[in-house]
Copies of this chain bind each other. A is one copy, B any other.
Amino acid sequence: MQVELGERSYPVEIGAGTLATLGERVAERSGASRAVVITVPPVGRRYGARAMRSLRAAGLKPTRIDVPDGDATKNLRQVEKLYHALLEARADRHTVLVALGGGMVGDLTGFTAASFLRGIPFVQVPTSVLAMVDASVGGKTGVNLREGKNLVGAFHQPRLVSIDIETLRSLPARERSAGLAEVVKKAAIWDRGLFARLERDAEALLALDEKALVPVLTRAVEIKAEVVAQDERESGVRMLLNFGHTLAHAIEALLRYRGLLHGEAVAIGMIYAAARSEALGFAPAGTAERIEALCRRLDLPTEPPDHPRSAYLAAMAVDKKKRDSRIHFVVLDGIGAAHTVPLLPSEVAAGLPRGAARRKKGKS
């Protein structure tokens, strides 16, 4: 599969065991003479040696740099440490960075690659469902500021995305679910056939059944690639990928990026956005319920954390998707189709409870 972006086009490979031969494609696609693998300890321990071996076999004299795990360290301090570590490793413009890990590693590595020496090549080797279907395609890189997520970054396209589904075997169940939330999102905005397939295979997907998983991952990456190819700079159709994200970002900011995984926040945000779509007259009744039922089967949370509406409003106001005071809010026209409407934060938040009274619902 190829992401079509003119001279910045790049291939995405999806297979089992691809990590063992990664080096030759990295060398071919980057033209680099040396590689620096950036990873986190839990991933590095399992897959680092395999990646290094294959890079070494391709003549890329690899160095490995471990960064602390967790989105809380996806910040400018960490980027600065990486710059120093790269200089220490004598990295130059002919060095390729290899992001081996989840979305955090990809975002951090991508932004470092975009800004070190004004831009060096990089390759994405995503090892989580979320990173495979989302962060690995599109060229979005970035880090968080205390005011919000991904407020700093760059569009910097990888030279190659290499997905080895075997790396998912060690992924915690909760992260599998969170990653599948992003697949639900793509199906909801773009492909009702994929949505039906998710409804058919939910449990098999959670169990990482290869026959269920490979076509779903492939189609999810394809959708992302289709959307990105249509709209590299995120001015139009690409904004549909923000479905569920307005509330999700606010939730994450209120929780200071702790307690919920991104995909979990997105699940809550999608159900909420679908309900708003119904309330605003865009989606037929039952749309939100169908998404909620699927999310439940995928072991995803479905209710927003207990904060007053005013807190959500304040968190939304620094969200970068606003234009002046309006937010381009993604609404569904039903399962498989979406568009954006410019809404005031107050209109977006109208479906949230005013006070912080805890709801009388069970597990969510």
Contacts and interface: CB of A to CB of B under 8 A. Distances in A.
Q: How large is the interface on A (under 10, 10 to 19, 20 to 34, 35 or more residues)?
A: 20 to 34
A80 B84 contact: no
B119 A154 contact: yes
Q: Is the interface of A mostly helix, strand, loop or mixed?
A: mixed
21 contacts: A33-B323, A80-B145, A83-B151, A83-B152, A87-B151, A92-B320, A94-B323, A94-B324, A115-B115, A115-B152, A115-B154, A116-B151, A117-B151, A117-B152, A117-B153, A117-B320, A118-B140, A118-B150, A118-B155, A119-B155, A154-B154
Given A76-B80, A147-B87, A154 B114 contact: yes
A142 interface: yes
Contacts of A309: none
A83 B80 CA distance: 16
A13 to B, nearest CB: 26
A145 B84 contact: yes
Interface string A125-164: 0000000000000001110010110111111000000000
Nearest to A155: B118
Given A76-B76, A145-B84, A154-B154, A320 B93 contact: yes
Interface string A204-239: 000000000000000000000000000000000000
A134 to B, nearest CB: 15
Given A84-B145, A84-B147, A119-B155, 8 more contacts: A76-B76, A83-B152, A93-B323, A94-B323, A118-B140, A118-B153, A118-B155, A119-B154
A-B pairs with lowest CB-CB distance, top 10: A118-B153, A117-B320, A87-B147, A115-B152, A76-B80, A118-B155, A118-B154, A115-B154, A94-B323, A83-B145
Contacts of A119: 154-155
Nearest to A86: B151
Interface string A92-128: 1110000000000000000100111111000000000
A92 B141 CA distance: 18
Contacts of A111: 115
Nearest to A150: B118
Nearest to A235: B93
A29 interface: no
Contacts of A318: 87
A229 B225 CA distance: 31
A322 interface: yes
A108 to B, nearest CB: 13
Contacts of A323: 33, 92-94
A27 to B, nearest CB: 15
A124 B322 CA distance: 26
A142 B155 contact: no
A117 B148 CA distance: 11
Contacts of A114: 154
Interface string A71-89: 0000010001001100100
Contacts of A153: 115, 117-118
